[in-house]
Structure 1
Amino acid sequence: MTDPQPPAFQPAWWLPGRHAQTVFPALLRSPPRIPLTSETFELPDGDFLELAWGPPGQGLAIIGHGLGGSSDSAYVRGLVAELARRGIGSVVLQSRGAGRRPNRHRRSYHAAAWDDLEAVVAGLVERRPGQPLAVVGFSLSGSMLLNWLAERGDCPVALAVAVSVPFELDRCADALEQGFARVYQAYLLRRLRAMAAAKFAARSDAPVPVERIRRIRRLREFDDLLTAPLHGFRDSADYYRRAGCRQRLGAIRQPTRILHAADDPFVPSETIPQADELGPGVSMELQRHGGHVGFVHGTRPGYWLDGRIAGLIETALGNPPSTG
């Protein structure tokens, strides 16, 4: 991929600091109004995903959301809109239970649950043979994506882009329990508790009573009580150890770009991989500022990630560069 000098991100002067860069787009960004078409995608194990299709175009980008996110997330909609502007098609892969309806099985999703991504890619390749594919993963989906690429050396994608990835899950869980970052933990847990409680209120096989789910106050507690038992891990420590993606980055051969900010409040700086840890297909754009899935610039404001990711995909898919 020809991109020898990636552009440096310059944060908006009126939005300084990692917390401002993280909070503003999460709470105050208005998602672009762009039509999405829903599809129920049946999985090999009898469960299903809800896909959300953006406007059609040349090539296709599969977009994965972060923990507690969905196709309604502003950063997802922003990328769909920018890809559509450039004439590139997209589809949002909403993880199990993250769409409008609870999924059928007990399990949900986690940082190494790449089997559903593989099923969607295989289905779309069969459905549209010869169409070039790119895959984008934000935050937790970025971890899923990198784990998949490391495990499957023949993934049929022209480009993978992972954004604001929690490289070491245990250290990230610790970071979310300190200082202002506890606000992020509370924000994530509100979404996760609501999703889990709504699902298990209608069935009798919850790992813990629904009343206990509603009292969860720590992400590590959520992973101990729900993520681990539902997905075959002993406890949260076992999950964090086995599902973290940093340990696998050296195995990635496919063209992969990691976009990350050194001041990400979710990800301690010492957990950001060094260049010698990256596989031959991987390159990292490490910006000094940007927060977690933030990267707000300009005065309007503008969202740097939309253009940067879309530009990388445009180049990788061989589409003529957009103008304007």
Structure 2
Amino acid sequence: MPIYENTLYPAPFFLPGGHAQTLYPAFFRTLEVPASAVQRITTPDNDFLDIDFHYVMPGYPQKRLAIISHGLEGNSKRSYVKGMVRALLKAGWDAVAWNFRGCSGSLNRTLHMYNSGSTEDLKSVVNFCAGRGYEEIVLIGFSMGGNQILKYLGDPDEIVHPNIQASVVFSVPCDLVGAAKAMDKSSNAIYLKNFMRTLKEKMLQKHELFPERVDVTRLNEVKTFRDFDETYTAPWYGYKDAMEYWKKSSSVQFLDRVRIPTLLMNARNDPFLCPTCYPTGQAHRSKNLYLETPAEGGHIGFVRISDDDYYWSEIRAVEFLGQVFGWY
């Protein structure tokens, strides 16, 4: 499918570079969306997921639904999630923003949390929503949430729900090995420190629930994603080590098998990504993967200053879905 290296996205002149475009929304974007109906669903392992339902017309569900997956240590209340919800509602889509385990503000009951390659919880949300009568479902994902979606859609061992018609993902670390190396750069220290802070807090909470299974004696020595994944993620999920976890969970290896129209948009100046996170070869070969790699945008940035306050990612998602469903 087409590869667009230079889309029409123009970064604001006062946000030069990927770091400024990444940080601006987190600090300066505030917006409100219609009140959500919070639903807690039970997972097959008797844990729970908290999901926010947003309706075009409360009390009158549409037949069309978008399921939105946030990024690492995000949640359904992040500005990039709310911005996407608002844009989709205006376009006539009901929207569900779901929280990964441990990200809704409530500590989950089981040892497991979430990881880049885990798709079981995404499937639980899809099945629940399809069971409520939604006939056309699309998946929208950011960063880690986007990697999960791409892996789910392309993994030969997965059975993709037939109601899923399209997907749109942004700022996806398709190659987790390379992305982990990128995050070790000194220029990314501020982001890594923040991720480690919140992940360590969750490990302390898990230790209180499972003192014999969660060792926190060396928690202060955990400084990088390799440290964290070697200590916790890999052993919890049956991987030999962090490298095996990253390799098996990277969505780049599954892109050739994606069978529904999918837009992947990764900015060239995204500080979290490495060269192998721009899968041009797979996009050239695929009938379903559309790749856009604008020069600007940062990580989950794509800031756009306008009266309507829609960001470029939101505009492109609605446009792409309109093309897939033949609206224009």
TM-score, length-scaled by structure 2:
0.89
2:148 is aligned with what amino acid? M
1: CA distance, partners of 2:79 / 2:189: 22
Calculate the aligned-residue CA RMSD, in Å: 2.5
Cα distance in 1 for partners of 2:48, 2:99 equals 10
Task: Structure 2: give runs of 5+ residues left out of the alignment.
Answer: none
Q: Flag the 1:240–1:208 CA change in 2: closer, same or farther, 3 A.
A: same
What does the per-residue CA deviation read over 1:233-286, in whole Å, with 9 as the maximum and x for residues that have no partner?
111111111111111111111111111111111001244212345532211111
Q: Distance in 2 between matches of 1:302 and 1:90?
A: 17
**Residue of structure 2 equivalent to 1:290:** 297
Letter paired with 1:70: N
Query: 1:261 aligned to 2:267?
Result: yes
- Matched with 1:171 is 178
Residues of 2 paired with 1:153 and 1:280: CA distance? 19
Aligned residues of 1:97 and 1:108 also touching (Cα < 8 A): yes
Check conservation: 1:149, 1:155, Cα contact below 8 A: no
2:131 aligned counterpart, secondary structure: helix
When residues 286 and 155 of structure 1 are mapped into structure 2, their CA distance, relative to the original with a 3 A threshold, is farther
Partner of 2:129: 124
The one-letter amino acid paired with 2:203 is: A
Give the match's secondary structure for 1:296.
coil
Cα offset, 1:198, TM superposition: 2.3
Say which is worse superposed, 61-70 or 34-43, in terms of deviation: 34-43
Which position in structure 1 is the counterpart of 2:151?
147
Counterpart CA distance in 2 for 1:216 and 1:186 is 10
Structure 1 CA distance, aligned partners of 2:179 and 2:4?
31
Q: 1:81 to 1:14 in 2, by over 3 A?
A: same
Given residue 246 of structure 1, which amino acid in structure 2 is its aligned partner?
A: V
Work out the CA distance in 1 between the residues paired with 2:6 and 2:300: 18
Paired positions, count: 318
Partner residue of 1:69?
74
1:68 is paired with a residue of what secondary structure?
Answer: coil
The code of the aligned residue for 1:73 comes to R
**Runs of at least 4 residues off by over 6 Å:** 1-6
Alignment check: 8 A CA contact 2:175 2:276 kept: no
Deviates more, 1:114-123 or 1:61-70: 114-123
SS at match of 1:287: coil
**Contact 2:47/2:110 (CA < 8 Å) preserved in 1?**
yes
Amino acid at match of 2:104: G
Contact map agreement 1:106 1:205 (CA 8 A) in 2: no
CA distance in 1, matches of 2:160, 2:53: 25
Give 1:96's aligned residue.
101
Q: 1:51 to 1:241 in 2, by over 3 A?
A: same
Is 1:305 paired with 2:308? no
Say whether 1:249 aligns with 2:243: no
Matched letter for residue 259 of structure 1: M
> Which of 167, 173, 193 in structure 2 is aligned with 1:160?
167
8 Å contact from structure 1 (residues 207, 225) kept in 2 = no
Q: Percent identity?
A: 29
Are 2:2 and 2:290, in contact at CA under 8 Å, matched by a contact in 1? no
1:50-95 alpha-carbon deviations (Å, 9 max, x no partner):
1111234531100000000001111001111111222311001211
Q: CA deviation at 1:314?
A: 4.1
Find the residue that maps to 1:159 and give its secondary structure. Answer: strand
Query: Pick from 177, 181, 191: which aligns with 2:188?
Result: 181
Q: 1:135 aligns with which of 123, 139, 158?
A: 139
Partner SS, residue 214 of structure 2: coil
Question: Which runs of structure 2 are paired with 1:25-40 in the superposition (5 Å)?
Answer: 25-40=25-40
Residue ranges of structure 1 left out of the alignment (5+ in a row): none
Cross-structure match for 1:198: 205
How many angstroms does 1:293 deviate by? 0.5
Contact 1:34-1:54 at 8 Å conserved across structures: yes
Deviations 1:135-161 (A, max 9, x none): 011000111000000123643211111
